[in-house]
Structure 1
Amino acid sequence: MMILKRIGIVIVLLAIFSGAGLFLFRGTLLRHVVKGKIETYSDRYGLRIAYASLKMPSLATVRVEGVSVVPLHRDTLLKLRSAEVELELLPLLQGNLSVKSMHTDGLTCRFVKCGGKSNYDLFFQRIPQEPRGQETEDVVPIGYARRVEQALGALFRLLPEDATLRHTTFMGERDSLQTVFMIPDLVLEDRKFVSEIAVSEEKMNGKWRVAGTLDCKTRLIEGSIASAESGKRIVVPYILPHYQTFVAFDSVAFSMKQEPFSAGNQTLTGYTEVGGLEIHHKALSPDTIGLDKGEVEYMVHVGERAFELDSATTVRFNRLSFHPFVRADKTDRWHFTASVHRPSFPAQDLFASLPSALFSHLRGLEVEGELSYDLNADVDFNCLDSLKFSSNLRGHGFRIHRMGTTDLSRMSTEFEYTAYEHDTPVRTFAIGPSNPHFRPLSCISPLLQMAVMQSEDGSFYYHDGFYPGAIQEALAYDLQKGGFARGGSSITMQLVKNVFLNRHKNIARKLEEALIVWLIESQHLTSKERMYEVYLNIIEWGPLVYGAAEASRFYFEKEPSELTVSEAIFLASIIPRPKHFRSVFNPDATLRENQLGYYRVIARRLAVKGLMTEEEAEAFVPDVQIRGEARRLVLQPDTLISPVHATAWEAE
């Protein structure tokens, strides 16, 4: 018993002397540890890190002065006059860093880029991975949920709940343009923070006010930003001079809460809200895009190999609201699923919520009744051929009460059509009897009508403007190619694009196109027969060649009512690439053999429709004898078509 007592006394004395030694030599130990870290980061990132003074006033307090961080052969990245950080003692004794309070003075960060080189390249460098030993090959990788939990856990441990940041400056310099954010004082006290930020860039000056809450115990961050000057808005700097994009807003608010980690799942909840948002970029719209109010209340689940936006999420967009569901699973490649199910809501809420700059043709549209909407998408990048997509907007007692800026029924009667080349108008002509080259359906060969339809949109007379199978195939193909490679457009969609819209391929234009198609088809603003008649009279069939009459004359010197099977199929075949019609011919103006398969496919479809017998289709051999202007252009491939060629028929 006495021996145990003596051993206990020895252990206590050792602890006392160790603690005393640790306290007495804490500064030396700290500088030794910091020296090793500086050497590691200097070698890894190519930095010169220096400080004038480093002290530990107490076991849990670190004070540093005169800090500088300079990338090799680059401008200074960071300077710090002084900082004092108080750490939580108990976590520190357990080997974890947890910041209790922090006070800084004179922090300046400069991000400089000039001539393609910057002093912040180090943030984007990939650190070489050391080769793994045999003993680590079978280690199971950490899942996404655990990574998020660890990262946010570290963030909330390092963020203080009490802090004072004085004379803080963030500066960006790019090609002589300087953007400066100056924060005179930012005070975080009792988990609340508030500050003003002075922002300057060339002739632009502004003052922002930021405020919010940082509660590390409940894992909550929330904040807001707005102009500190009455009657002014926040204009986002940097992106206008460098990316020609204007962005301004009245206010932005956000929150994010980390829920307790449970059963391998990490859940994040919160919201983001923006008011008075304005965006302008010529690629989006010639006008400024406005959003009165947008808000997202979200719930995100992070699993071991998946991310999920819960359907409890609410998106509000002006007068619209809906609950999206999105899930992303990672196996070899990503697998995305998404859905939106919106039950009946006032139809006017949709059209009143659309940004007029993006949906200019629907501006001022007044409607009655209700709408409902369903979207389902399944995109597996492991097997894009399995892609599924459906989008269904339904009207309930819906009708148009008043047209907006554009008369969506204009195709029903004679109207003027303007053809564009690279956004430049090249020809304007009437689609109706006043145009001598206009041909009603009765004057166009049924062979041409059916060949074009079977080539472009075989179910045109039976669908409501959208052909889901074609859209799915086009989406899969575009994703495989990584761009807009195939459109999947129905004839109605092609008409809307050409008659009402510009040809810029972007998401906003496709959404406006889809809405106009739905309105025309669901409200029967133009009959199917008239739409097809318009289509055959405006479609481009060669360089500056528009409509069936001009095409028949250009290629065969005959009327569209006189076309043969071969001639009709030929005209259908060149619709996707009308300016490259010469590529389907040999130098002697005979048809290339690689075209034969297409002709036989369309011939079989004509037979199914009763325009040929099955025997004729099976024995069909195309005979395309082009004449006149088209033949001359094929035989003389260096010849360029001139406007005279396109307008000569009008003079006759």
Structure 2
Amino acid sequence: MNPATKKKIGIGVGAVVALLGIALAVFLLKRQELLQYALREVKAKVEKKYPVTLTLGPARFTDLNTVRIDGVTLVPTGQDTLLQARRINASISLKTLFARRPVFSDLQIDSARVTAQKTATTNNYAFFFAKKKPTVKRDTTQGANYGLLLNQLLETAFDNVPGEADFRSFLVTYRSPEHNATLTMPRFAIEDGDLTGQLTADIDSVVNTFGLQGHIEPGDYALDAKVYGLEGRPVVLPYVQRRYGARVQFDTVRVSLSDKDLDDDQLTVRGTAWARNFVVNHPKLADHDVRFPRSGIDYVLTLGKAYGAVEKGTKVTLNQMEFFPEVSVRKLPRQQRVMSEANGVESPDEMLAGLQVKANIVSGETKANDFFSALPQGMFSTLEGTQGEGTLTYRLLADLDMNQLDSLKFSSSLTGKNFRLTRFGREDLSKLNTPFEYTAYNDKGDSIKTFQVGPPNPKFVPFDQVAPYLKYAILTAEDPRFFTHKGFMAKAFVKSIIQNIKEKRFARGGSTISMQLVKNVFLTRQKTVTRKIEEALIVWLIENTRVATKERMMEVYLNIIEWGPKIYGVKEAAQFYFSKEPNELNLSESLYLASIIPRPKRYRLGFNNYGEMRRSARYFHRLIAQLMARKGYISQAEYEGLGYSVNFSNPSRMGFVPRPDTTRTVVAADSAQYQPLNLIDLLGGGADEGVNTNTPAEEGGAAPAQAPTKN
């Protein structure tokens, strides 16, 4: 190559380099100009949409397509600053930038501060939710469409998830008259859909430090995320603790959403939720922690117009035990809600008005030991360590229509197959068959007295040494089918639910003698939900494995129940009130003792100050005697000869005083404190219901095969 050629090539290369340099300079200048334009557009769009001032600091490219903005603030009009960020880095598509439609990605925010404040009259963040809050057009006569609402919430949340993001040193504070919250996030990142982060949350003085891991696919509306406590500490839910007085915590929770399908205004979502060491503590639930070591749900949920359902395909797991629930809840349109005394609804706006609930929950056939290990810790403390053979299956059916409350259907059953107990837990249920030490407690949990239940105690009375009158009176008033049922009175329980719903309180019980016995012998006096559930399971075990005979159960019951202040057992009762032995009690005395079992501390309730029986007490005595005569427990002559008085051996000890006017033997009734029973209800009810529970009594029939016989 000659020198002239080399020179020409050099000139050409130089020209190309120069042109490229000029082009690059123009590109960089134009790129920076377009960036400023894009940021002005962002600022104008935000300020047009919201009543705020958005300030963006100096912006520049740090490489070919990465933008750095030093300083961002967002100040609502007339309010304090809501957002500050020291630096934001983001990638920008040059193609979209030159097309003047910039698309940012790979968002990185460093040292951001969100400060939300609320006073009694205003706040600095409401504008954002007012604009973003999804609205659902609905027919107000049919109720809210929860399916459409949830669908909009899900789509709004998923559609605003950035593809790539990295938040560092992020601080969120919230201050209001009701709540204070501080959230500190050292780092949270989204990379190729993978979520990682750490957060310290101080909400109303409840402090949690937890980690977050998971994966999200915004386009598919799919999420799988795990939240777990750090530093060996559980995560405690703050709101429920302050609002409901309950402590709810967990070590790890994993939640997934795998699918959502909106069809004909009904949304169906599928996914899972699992928890490890999920703990609930509330005084009405239990007096200690209730712990679920490993529990979860594979859910299929449907939401629609005033409707929600747990669909077929849902599975709930407690350790090795599986349940398959199908539950639906519907709220009828306002104009279709029935208000009447029959359902206790006074206004169509009441929570229960027009409510319809259906439930069908069945467990898989479960090995006995898997069943006992699946019981939540702290809910069945008496049974902890219990073992058995065979299998158990549980089923619950319920159908409630508040427009037709009396049509309520409810059944709860546990079925055993080749089932037997091989080991008792903390309490030996078989102690009912031998002398044992019993401690009586008051409603506050204080011990009153301790005594032996059995022959070693001179006050113990064998079953056959109790007057038949008293046995029959108690059976008629408390539990007519005690000697034939398996521990429960289904019809009585349903009627109790109906009345309690009508009166919006626990106005009526449905306890059998078996349930009262278990409550007294094995459980505390605390009135909690878990104690009632534990009571039912122990009753089932005793009755279905024949731990004790019915006669022995009745014998123990008669010797431990309270019959008045610090009066325990039938012998003390017979001597205190009548100075008699239990086998010497007559019909009137037996009816009185049966009447005070539900309210032993109010043993004077049926009498005035002169010891004269009030009308309500006379009514009870005649009613029970009539039912006893109809079933052949007493003769018709004994019923007809029943008087209206009870002769106490020491009236002054009862607090009665002599009546100055001896010509008057009966005074007008004062039943303000003793609600009369409904005679029609009592005589026309089902065949397994008692009287003292304010439930219908057994209708006719001969005495049970194992019932007590006259001496």
TM-score (norm. length: structure 2): 0.71
Q: CA–CA distance in 2 between the matches of 1:450 and 1:357?
A: 38
Aligned residues: 572
Q: CA–CA distance in 2 between the matches of 1:110 and 1:545?
A: 65
Residue 577 of structure 1 aligns to which amino acid in structure 2? R
Aligned equivalent of 2:418: 397
Residue 409 of structure 1 aligns to which amino acid in structure 2? S
Q: CA–CA distance in 1 between the matches of 2:433 and 2:45?
A: 83
Q: CA–CA distance in 2 between the matches of 1:459 and 1:374?
A: 23
Aligned equivalent of 1:185: 187
Residue 528 of structure 2 aligns to which amino acid in structure 1? N
1:412 corresponds to 2:433: yes
Residues 383, 111 of structure 1: CA spacing in aligned structure 2 closer, same or farther, 3 A cutoff? Answer: farther
Q: CA–CA distance in 2 between the matches of 1:142 and 1:281?
A: 32
* Aligned pairs for 1:193-272 within 5 A: 193-198=195-200, 207-227=209-229, 232-236=232-236, 238=238, 249-272=250-273
Q: CA–CA distance in 1 between the matches of 2:278 and 2:39?
A: 58
Q: CA–CA distance in 2 between the matches of 1:211 and 1:273?
A: 14
Q: How much does 1:548 deviate?
A: 1.7
1:569 corresponds to 2:591: yes
Residues 151, 394 of structure 1: CA spacing in aligned structure 2 closer, same or farther, 3 A cutoff? Answer: same
1:81 corresponds to 2:89: no
2:490 corresponds to which of 453, 468, 487: 468
Q: CA–CA distance in 2 between the matches of 1:196 and 1:343?
A: 39
2:540 corresponds to which of 496, 502, 518: 518
Where does the alignment leave 5 or more consecutive residues of structure 1 unmatched?
1-21, 39-48, 89-97, 128-135, 637-652
Aligned equivalent of 1:377: 398
Q: CA–CA distance in 1 between the matches of 2:124 and 2:559?
A: 57
Q: How much does 1:24 deviate?
A: 12
Residues 434, 113 of structure 1: CA spacing in aligned structure 2 closer, same or farther, 3 A cutoff? Answer: farther
8 A Cα contact 1:447 1:565, kept in partner: yes
Q: Which moved more, 1:258-267 or 1:543-552?
A: 258-267
Q: How much does 1:102 deviate?
A: 6.4
8 A Cα contact 2:223 2:257, kept in partner: yes
8 A Cα contact 1:99 1:160, kept in partner: no
Aligned equivalent of 2:566: 544
* Aligned pairs for 1:128-139 within 5 A: none
Residues 371, 25 of structure 1: CA spacing in aligned structure 2 closer, same or farther, 3 A cutoff? Answer: closer
8 A Cα contact 1:161 1:214, kept in partner: no
Q: CA–CA distance in 2 between the matches of 1:533 and 1:546?
A: 13
Q: The residue matched to 1:323 in structure 2 has which SS?
A: strand
Q: The residue matched to 2:216 in structure 1 has which SS?
A: strand
Q: CA–CA distance in 1 between the matches of 2:411 and 2:240?
A: 37
Q: The residue matched to 2:327 in structure 1 has which SS?
A: strand
Q: How much does 1:315 deviate?
A: 0.9
Q: CA–CA distance in 2 between the matches of 1:238 and 1:183?
A: 18
Q: How much does 1:363 deviate?
A: 1.6
TM-score (norm. length: structure 1): 0.77
Q: CA–CA distance in 2 between the matches of 1:361 and 1:24?
A: 68
Where does the alignment leave 5 or more consecutive residues of structure 2 unmatched?
1-36, 61-66, 94-102, 131-137, 338-353, 659-711
8 A Cα contact 2:171 2:185, kept in partner: yes
Q: Deviations over 1:454-497 (max 9, x none)?
A: 11111100100111112112222333344444331111111101
Q: The residue matched to 1:383 in structure 2 has which SS?
A: helix
Q: Deviations over 1:603-634 (max 9, x none)?
A: 11110232333355357443223342675424
Q: How much does 1:142 deviate?
A: 5.2
Aligned equivalent of 2:367: 346
Q: CA–CA distance in 2 between the matches of 1:121 and 1:176?
A: 16
Does 1 or 2 have the higher relative contact order (CA < 8 Å, sep 6+)? 2
Q: How much does 1:175 deviate?
A: 11
Q: CA–CA distance in 2 between the matches of 1:473 and 1:360?
A: 30
8 A Cα contact 2:143 2:306, kept in partner: no
Aligned equivalent of 2:509: 487
Q: CA–CA distance in 1 between the matches of 2:574 and 2:125?
A: 64
Q: How much does 1:164 deviate?
A: 3.6
Q: Which moved more, 1:391-400 or 1:285-294?
A: 285-294
Q: How much does 1:234 deviate?
A: 3.0
Residues 204, 334 of structure 1: CA spacing in aligned structure 2 closer, same or farther, 3 A cutoff? Answer: closer
Residue 234 of structure 2 aligns to which amino acid in structure 1? I
Aligned equivalent of 2:689: none
Residues 103, 518 of structure 1: CA spacing in aligned structure 2 closer, same or farther, 3 A cutoff? Answer: same
Q: Deviations over 1:502-526 (max 9, x none)?
A: 1222222122111111111111111
Q: Which moved more, 1:214-223 or 1:311-320?
A: 214-223
Aligned equivalent of 1:152: 154
Residue 398 of structure 2 aligns to which amino acid in structure 1? A
Residue 265 of structure 1 aligns to which amino acid in structure 2? Q
Aligned equivalent of 1:559: 581
Residue 381 of structure 1 aligns to which amino acid in structure 2? M
8 A Cα contact 1:78 1:107, kept in partner: no
Q: The residue matched to 1:429 in structure 2 has which SS?
A: strand
Q: Deviations over 1:178-212 (max 9, x none)?
A: 87431122222333221122457999987532122
Residue 155 of structure 1 aligns to which amino acid in structure 2? A
Residue 212 of structure 2 aligns to which amino acid in structure 1? V
Aligned equivalent of 1:33: 48
Q: Which moved more, 1:314-323 or 1:285-294?
A: 285-294
Q: CA–CA distance in 2 between the matches of 1:99 and 1:491?
A: 73
1:361 corresponds to 2:382: yes
Aligned equivalent of 1:291: 292
Aligned equivalent of 1:327: 328
Aligned equivalent of 1:600: 622
Aligned equivalent of 2:674: none
8 A Cα contact 2:327 2:357, kept in partner: yes
Q: Deviations over 1:408-437 (max 9, x none)?
A: 011112111111011010111111122222
RMSD: 4.2
Aligned equivalent of 1:16: none
Structure number with greater Rg is 2
Q: CA–CA distance in 1 between the matches of 2:504 and 2:78?
A: 37
Q: CA–CA distance in 1 between the matches of 2:178 and 2:247?
A: 20
Q: CA–CA distance in 2 between the matches of 1:99 and 1:560?
A: 90
Residues 546, 50 of structure 1: CA spacing in aligned structure 2 closer, same or farther, 3 A cutoff? Answer: farther
Residues 200, 542 of structure 1: CA spacing in aligned structure 2 closer, same or farther, 3 A cutoff? Answer: same
Aligned equivalent of 2:357: 336
Aligned equivalent of 2:688: none
Q: The residue matched to 1:567 in structure 2 has which SS?
A: helix
Residues 216, 471 of structure 1: CA spacing in aligned structure 2 closer, same or farther, 3 A cutoff? Answer: same
Residues 257, 608 of structure 1: CA spacing in aligned structure 2 closer, same or farther, 3 A cutoff? Answer: same
Q: CA–CA distance in 1 between the matches of 2:91 and 2:657?
A: 85
Residues 494, 78 of structure 1: CA spacing in aligned structure 2 closer, same or farther, 3 A cutoff? Answer: farther
8 A Cα contact 1:492 1:531, kept in partner: yes
Q: How much does 1:146 deviate?
A: 2.7
Q: How much does 1:276 deviate?
A: 3.4
Q: Deviations over 1:372-417 (max 9, x none)?
A: 2221112223333222211111111111112222110111121111
1:310 corresponds to 2:331: no
Q: CA–CA distance in 2 between the matches of 1:238 and 1:311?
A: 33
Residues 99, 338 of structure 1: CA spacing in aligned structure 2 closer, same or farther, 3 A cutoff? Answer: farther
Q: Which moved more, 1:424-433 or 1:270-279?
A: 270-279
Q: Deviations over 1:200-248 (max 9, x none)?
A: 799998753212223222112221122455xx34342757996886655
Q: CA–CA distance in 2 between the matches of 1:304 and 1:200?
A: 37
Q: CA–CA distance in 2 between the matches of 1:550 and 1:186?
A: 71
8 A Cα contact 1:111 1:119, kept in partner: no
Q: The residue matched to 2:186 in structure 1 has which SS?
A: strand
Q: CA–CA distance in 2 between the matches of 1:579 and 1:205?
A: 47
Residues 473, 122 of structure 1: CA spacing in aligned structure 2 closer, same or farther, 3 A cutoff? Answer: farther
Q: The residue matched to 2:220 in structure 1 has which SS?
A: coil
